[in-house]
Amino acid sequence: MDAGTGRAGVDRPSPSPGDRPTVGVEEEYLLLDPESGLPLPRVDAVRELAGLHPAIDHEELQNELLQAQVEVATPVCHDLEEVGGHLLRLRHALASAAEAEGCRLAACGTAPYAPAAPPLIVDAPRYHSIRKVVSRLADEAMINGMHVHVAVPDPRTGVEVLNRLRPWLPVLTALSANSPIWYGSDTGYASWRTIVFGRWPISGIPPHFADAADYESRIDHLLAAELIRDRGQLYWQARLSAKFPTVEVRAMDVQLRADEAVMLAGLVRALVASATRDAAAGRRSDPRTPESLEGAAWHAARYGLDGTLHDPASGLARPAAEIVRGMLDHLGPVLDEMGDTRAVAPLVHRLLAEGNGAGRQRRYLAEQGRAGLITMIAAESAAS
């Protein structure tokens, strides 16, 4: 989850129209006991030790809501090779620090095992305030997402992009699904994180906005009505940054493998670039009905890449592999132009052939049990 406002990829100005937009990634991880797989509240010690690494900037390591979680934020990146390099650097430093502190770094969308007692909240006023407001929801916040920031030239364009991203968000959820196990059992869902996070206020797929003024007026109302305390509590699957010129896409589970995170970052950037061009050309966005998109989002979280997904254009169900290949065809020219095809297309095809993180977690749990699952999660999370 995300209890803050997001910082990845946002410390430089946005590019001029027509340039390749910059991109940044945030990832959330759990700290797990290597034997039991239970979350361990050791974030302060792990952050402090990782921060001593000469290749790590303290600003890149951030707290999350729980003491058993840690978040990283890459600098602004101009290409996907940069994204991959930063994610590997950050994962390696944190994995080494976690091991030194008697735990393991876990890039899984949910804590596969959890104690009966509520998890400890990070000792900071913001997090205590959130815990007081959301109550029991905070106890179930052992969920980890991946957030991709892509630069946009201005808020007007940003809102146009959000409108056009809405039907693609379920496809991103299905591709990234990596959270099938919860409290020691298979939930039957590919992305249980999506379901848990969907219980939070102002979450799910964002509404369709008339324009940038409509976006601002709706948020102003939420603030005036005291339904949110700040814009960091807009938990939509895609939103505009409150501080920086980016669209932030938040529909994805954190990825076991860093190369799959890079692939998703490339898909998101291509979707944003394509939507930006459509808006500039005056092509209208399709204001798909909220019930259709909410149903598609639930379906994607439930089944992932198994079975069907819903076509972003028609809204009708089609084989998941067909939808994903259609996405690649749609984004092919943009990916080629940005030089991202080699970092994206082969990984998408590998995912279709081998399964996403949800499938791999299920296989390891079935074949090797609890110990095998925890070992696999830790190994893939820190692998190059």
**Total count of residues recorded for the chain:** 384
Instruction: Please report the pLDDT score of residue 1 as a whole number.
Output: 59
Query: How many whole angstroms separate alpha carbon 264 and alpha carbon 272?
Result: 12
Instruction: Please report the pLDDT score of residue 16 as a whole number.
Output: 37
Buried b or exposed e, range 237-271, using 16+ CB within 10 angstroms: bbbbbeebbbbbbbbbbbbbbbbbbbbbbbbbbbb
**Class for the domain spanning 23-382:** alpha beta
Query: How many whole angstroms separate alpha carbon 67 and alpha carbon 69?
Result: 5
Q: Profile the chain (384 residues) by mean pLDDT over runs of 10 residues.
A: 50 46 96 95 90 73 82 94 96 94 96 85 78 80 95 96 97 98 95 95 95 96 94 94 90 98 98 96 84 97 97 96 97 96 97 96 96 96 80
Coil, strand or helix at 70: strand
CA end-to-end span of the chain, whole Å? 25
Instruction: Please report the pLDDT score of residue 13 as a whole number.
Output: 33
The residues spanned by each domain of the chain are: 23-382
Task: Provide the whole-model pTM.
Answer: 0.93
Instruction: Please report the pLDDT score of residue 321 as a whole number.
Output: 97
* Upper half-sphere CA count for residue 32 (Cβ side, 13 Å): 30
Instruction: Please report the pLDDT score of residue 15 as a whole number.
Output: 38
